[in-house]
Structure 1
Amino acid sequence: MELDILFEDGEALVIDKPGGLPLDRPRAGGPCLEDHLDDLKLGFQRAPSPVHRLDRDTSGCLLLARNPKALKRFSAAFEQRLAEKRYIGIVAGEVAEEEGTIALSLSKVSTAKDGWRMIPARKGKPAVTHWRKLDSRDGLTLVEFRPETGRTHQIRVHAASGLGVPLLGDPVYGSGKGAGRTMLHAAGLTVPRGEKPPIVAVSPMPADFTALGFADHDAG
């Protein structure tokens, strides 16, 4: 598996993570991003480290830091909400409004039967997602999501509980039907770096999105 590189300089790489590739080794074994980190040294002594997380199914822009100093600085930019993230997702239903903001705090719950998941909860951690409708066809809607916060499963829960329609293919917050994975793609990432030019990366729409009849939309 060749990983496409969307941005590269002396301290950062942004790769186009394929959907279905987890960052960490699954308990049951199998491929993960760790297998590729040595190949991503690209002449550097150190292997790069992921700065943030994308779910296993989520494809698109993933920032890797090429040294510990950069990792610390980029991680701080994410924590301070300075990183701009743009996602596109296909939701399993029609969305009536054109755009809006979902502010639902999230909390983690765990049961022996179902494992863990995130739920909207007043006492949870604040989570805010801005969204707008891009296109709809055949009972599905293409939505742009711009999360302000970076909670686990934030967009997935906000789609299901805030928009009222889960992401297509989501096995936890939806029916899991209609697609081979949860249809969420990290389409754009901008990370400021003070005096230096920002890290800017854009990932094209994946083939499984276009196969459903959706075309790439610019980030206007």
Structure 2
Amino acid sequence: MKRLIAALMIFALPASALDLSAMTEDERAAFGAAVRSYLMENPQVLVEAIGELEARQVAEAARSDQELASTHAEGLFQDGASWIGGNPEGGTQMAMFIDYRCGVCRQFNAEVLDAVEEDGDIRLVMKEFPILGPESEMASRFAVAVLQASGDEAYLAAHNALMEMRGQVSDESLRQIAERIGVDADDIMNRMQTESVTAVLRANRELADAMAIQGTPTFVIGDQMLRGMPRDGLGPTIAAVRADG
């Protein structure tokens, strides 16, 4: 019984109610021994406590992400420089941070675009976020340059080509993509290093830094942030976000 009471004191009482400093050395030793003995005999209590702690940490992280998404909503959804896909007038706003060399981004690109089109009420904002080296940077610059020079349809064609690309990103491979999608290769290659393209990538990186986004893909759906591809698929996840909203 004494062991049970000791354990309950740890898990049920607030820290301020348990003043170990008021105990004598012998009392602290006895208290510690009683708690240890109880936990050894009832390890499920510790498992439950750890589970509760993890659940609280997850909930706190979700609240923090929600605050970040709300704070940076304008930068996420109304920057005036990113490609807009899906339904431009859609009731559900979704931003997606991508890297063209990210294996998960590449694997699920078609699924994401299909889910957006099938839904019909999603306004998708694409955020180039090159974090995997020089080839990522080149690919992102190419995509942004195509958008600025040739518009939305050309961007989508370039985006898909980059996601499907299996070889190295190089001047030659990017020129081949430009020719295949029907844009001026020389113009695009020259535009890639301009300040207008650099400014887009800089703004995306600053936004990601402010929101503690360190990996791709990262989704922001309304005020909910998803760090990685949802396990249950994008469609069900969007439905769940709407239900929570």
Fold match, TM over 0.5? no
Judging by fraction of residues, say which structure has more helix.
2
Structure ranking higher in strand proportion = 1
Q: Please tell me whether Structure 1 or Structure 2 has the larger radius of gyration of its CA atoms.
A: 2
TM-score class normalised by the smaller sequence: under 0.3
